[in-house]
Amino acid sequence: MTIEAKPETILICREVSGGYAVDAQAHRGVLMAISFQVQAGDCLSITGPSGSGKSALLRLLNRFDDPTQGEIYFHGKPLQTFDPLEIRKRISLVLQNPVMFHGTVRENLLRRPDKQQLSETTLVQALEEVGLDRSFLDRNAMELSGGEKQRISIARSLLGGPEILLLDEPTSALDRRSLHLIADLITQLNRVKGLTLIVVTHQAELVHRMGGRVLFLERGHIVQETWAEQATRLLEEHR
Ligand SMILES: Nc1ncnc2c1ncn2[C@@H]1O[C@H](COP(=O)(O)OP(=O)(O)OP(=O)(O)O)[C@@H](O)[C@H]1O
Ligand SMILES: [Mg+2]
């Protein structure tokens, strides 16, 4: 008899409201009563119209803001009990337009909030994980293409050894070929390395290539939870 291991629930959002650290008096509340769970190894897409609160939600998961109501749990403990720096390492956010600093890719990868010392071998491995070779280490980071910057940004996150990777519109600024490259890269990280992904996107093609669960946000509410295969019409309607 085989016993199937139950997937571990690593993140729980329970009736979470809030978003964007604005003056509490003026706060209208961007997100309202958001509830969902994420299990280790999940690939979750979050989609919905512009302004529906997708980025606001990622900011809460990364402790850039804290909820005004409800609670987020990470490994069963309230997210607010974790140090923000620790959380940003374990739940790492990759932005839509990655910020590169002046200097080489090496200098960009070595510039870390945790002051971690990294060997040349580790840097090369991180580049290989995102499909780039070691020659990129000496390239000027400002002169990379959008897709290459996106990959360096993912490599930078991976160097912190995250459990969850949050990606905010990772392919919306890229052409189709780069979209496919990034989609395949993150899908591999999920399927082969078991990295848990939460990906905000309005692109049906990305959702389909990744597969998995899809949350649909509208005006700060989750209005539908479905699977990538069933989300085509929903995504087409809100392109
Ligand atoms: N810095 C801010 N302070 C207060 N409210 C903000 C701030 N930035 C955005 N908002 C508002 O919060 C709401 C949700 O914004 P959010 O950026 O989460 O939307 P989104 O779903 O990510 O949209 P998009 O697809 O355009 O990126 C919007 O009504 C927006 O105007
Ligand atoms: Mg956004």
Report yes or no on whether pTM surpasses 0.85: yes
Give nearest CA residue, ligand 1 atom 20.
51
For the chain, what is the mean pLDDT? Answer: 91
117 lines ligand 1 (CB under 6 A): no
Reply yes or no on whether the pLDDT at 78 is more than 60.
Answer: yes
**Band of residue 239 on the pLDDT scale cut at 50, 70, 90:** low
Residue 149 Cα to ligand 2 midpoint, Å, equals 19
201 lines ligand 1 (CB under 6 A): no
**Taking phi first (over 0 means left), then psi (-120 to 50 degrees means alpha), and beta for anything else, what does residue 161 get?**
left
Do 17 and 206 form a contact (C-beta atoms < 8 A)? no
Which ligand lies nearest to the CA atom of residue 217 in the structure? 1
Give nearest CA residue, ligand 1 atom 26.
50
Residue 200 pairs in a beta bridge with 46, 168
Atom of ligand 1 nearest to the CA of 59: 18
Percent of the chain with pLDDT over 90: 81
**Band of residue 122 on the pLDDT scale cut at 50, 70, 90:** very high
Residues 6 or more apart in contact with residue 45 via CB below 8 angstroms: 199, 200, 201, 206, 207, 210, 212, 213, 214, 215, 228, 231
Do 9 and 64 form a contact (C-beta atoms < 8 A)? no
Do 108 and 126 form a contact (C-beta atoms < 8 A)? no
Q: Hey, what are 33's tokens?
A: 């009563």
Residues 6 or more apart in contact with residue 95 via CB below 8 angstroms: 153, 168
Which ligand lies nearest to the CA atom of residue 53 in the structure? 1
State the distance between the two ends of the chain, measured CA to CA, in whole angstroms.
48
Atom of ligand 1 nearest to the CA of 217: 21
**Band of residue 203 on the pLDDT scale cut at 50, 70, 90:** very high
Give nearest CA residue, ligand 1 atom 7.
20
Residues 6 or more apart in contact with residue 152 via CB below 8 angstroms: 98, 100, 105, 108, 109, 130, 132, 136, 141, 144
At 22-67, the pLDDT tens digits run: 655 555 669 999 999 999 999 999 999 999 999 999 999 999 999 9
Reply yes or no on whether the pLDDT at 200 is more than 70.
Answer: yes
Reply yes or no on whether the pLDDT at 3 is more than 70.
Answer: no
Residue 51 Cα to ligand 2 midpoint, Å, equals 7
List the alpha helices (DSSP H) in 83-203: 84-90, 105-110, 120-129, 146-158, 176-191
Q: Smallest Cα–Cα separation from 54: which of 209, 212, 206, 202?
A: 202
Residue 128 Cα to ligand 1 midpoint, Å, equals 34
Calpha distance 188→184 (Å, rounded): 6
Q: What's the confidence (pLDDT) of residue 231?
A: 84
30 lines ligand 1 (CB under 6 A): yes
